[in-house]
């Protein structure tokens, strides 16, 4: 059985990043491995390989379902946190 993301209608391909890096890490002197951008509001957070896991935290706080990579050359990688699948 194939699982299909039901949140594709919430993707804003023209979202503007709110910050150039993970805002929470910058505020608290943390560091990140890779960045993700929320395709609903433009929040930039660090990935789950980073100590802060701020992209996941953003999803849990807001319910915004889909983020994509905010790394040069990897912008096509998208993840739905609700369905837990790449989109």
Residue 69: inside a domain, yes or no? yes
Nearest-angstrom CA–CA distance, 54 and 47? 7
Calculate what percentage of the chain has a pLDDT beyond 70: 99
Angle, alpha carbons 86-38-70 (nearest 5°): 75
Distance, C-alpha 49 to centroid of its chain: 13
Pick from 8-17, 27-36, 55-64: least confident: 8-17
pLDDT band at 46 (very low <50, low <70, confident <90, very high): very high
Number of domains in the chain: 1
Nearest-angstrom CA–CA distance, 22 and 19? 7
Domain housing 66: 9-86
CATH number at residue 49: 3.30.40.10
| pLDDT reported for residue 76 | 83
Residue 16: inside a domain, yes or no? yes
Structure tokens at 65: 């379902």
Calculate what percentage of the chain has a pLDDT beyond 90: 80
Structure tokens at 87: 């989109």
Contact present, 37 and 24 (Cβ < 8 Å): no
pLDDT band at 3 (very low <50, low <70, confident <90, very high): confident
């Amino acid at each position: 059985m194939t699982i299909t993301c039901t949140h594709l209608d919430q993707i804003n391909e023209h979202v503007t990043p709110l910050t150039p890096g993970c805002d929470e890490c910058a505020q608290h002197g943390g560091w990140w491995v890779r960045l993700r951008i929320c395709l609903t509001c433009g929040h930039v957070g660090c990935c789950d390989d980073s100590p802060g896991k701020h992209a996941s935290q953003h999803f849990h706080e807001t319910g915004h379902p889909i983020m994509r990579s905010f790394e040069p050359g990897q912008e096509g990688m998208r993840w739905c946190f609700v369905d837990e699948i790449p989109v």
